[in-house]
Amino acid sequence: MKAFVLEDFGLKNLKQRTVPTPEPGPGQILVKVSAVSLNFRDRAVAEGYYTPEKMPPNLIPVSDAAGTVSAVGPGVSRFSVGDRVMSHYASRWLDGPPRRDLGDFTLGGPLDGGLAEYLLLDQDGAVATPPSLSDEEASTLPIAALTAWFALFERGGLEPGQTVLVQGTGGVSVAAAQLASAFGARVIATSSDDGKLARMRELGAAEVINYRTTPDWAAAAVELTGGNGVDQVLDVVGGSSLNRSVSATRPNGHVAVIGFLESMTASLDLMPLLYGQTRVTGIATGHRRAFEELAAFVGVHGIKPVIDTVHAFDDAPLAFERLGQGAFGKIVVRVG
């Protein structure tokens, strides 16, 4: 089969090769990949600064894939040939609290990912694709949308009418805005770009703040909530910006620590945290039960994931370069 392999760290070492097509063993399914979507993580893995010690040589990268089951191994009962499925990133995390070894079984490193004609999955590590979505749309759900869903509902306990602040207009934040507004929450969106903020309004954001022209966006958010603060912030920025997320949040509100666009380390001012009694939770995508609930919600509410660009398979390296260049929503590579 055709596949991209990471011969060494560095995007220039992402090479298209012909490699043996895997065969499904007991409990495994072989998926003919139709589309993959890229996440910031995929680039970090390729560049060698995302747990490089865990990455095997000649890894097939990219965590998120959607396609059709083309063969099943002995004992498979969850899926049949012809079923449309999406990959489940944290492949062994099915429900409940995560295990310490969660990071040993994630797709797109250290396990092979979807940037190939075929992807071998454990039957437990796949979720049925909502019929309302194309494969390109479905390929955007496994990390970005699930992370947003998990932060909002599993960890954040979102209720209709509550206020959620999302940062920037990348994959996680756009999905979060769509999900939260479909649920009946009030979304405040931030971005560096007024044009993107207008698009966030079209997707359901009730209020918008340009964090470039309003650097103290946290104060602006507090003002927009009558002085009390938002119920939840989905923080994708990390670094010192986390302090602003805490100050934007109402007492006893929730900050989901998701991303590290500014920095992977943060120095937190403890007094606002203590007096605000803010709940701060680290998020690592989500478990399969939440993914299945997300897929059902997307179907029922007719949510269409926002795709920035679709690249041809041969142009996958260009798609990686598009990451971090201000895409609105998701970057997709068409495989099949």
Interface residues toward ligand NAP, by CB under 6 A: 39-41, 143-144, 147, 167-173, 191-193, 196, 211, 236-237, 258-262, 283-285, 323-324, 326-327
Residue whose CB is less far from ligand NAP, 4 or 40:
40
Is residue 85 within 8 A of residue 126, CB to CB? The reply is yes
Residue whose CB is less far from ligand NAP, 59 or 209:
209
CB of 83 to ligand NAP, least distance (A): 26
Per DSSP (E only), the strands in 174-294 are 186-191, 207-210, 230-235, 249-257, 279-282
Whether the link from the prior residue into 98 is cis, omega within 30° of 0, is: no
Residue whose CB is less far from ligand NAP, 245 or 278:
245
CB of 293 to ligand NAP, least distance (A): 17
Per DSSP (E only), the strands in the chain are 2-6, 14-18, 28-38, 64-72, 84-87, 118-122, 126-128, 163-167, 186-191, 207-210, 230-235, 249-257, 279-282, 307-312, 330-334
CB of 178 to ligand NAP, least distance (A): 13
Q: Nearest CA to 145 among 42, 290, 262, 327?
A: 290
CB of 37 to ligand NAP, least distance (A): 9
Residue whose CB is less far from ligand NAP, 93 or 211:
211
- Helix, strand, or coil (residue 29): strand
CB of 50 to ligand NAP, least distance (A): 8
Comparing every residue's Cβ against ligand NAP, the nearest one is 170
Residue whose CB is less far from ligand NAP, 3 or 323:
323
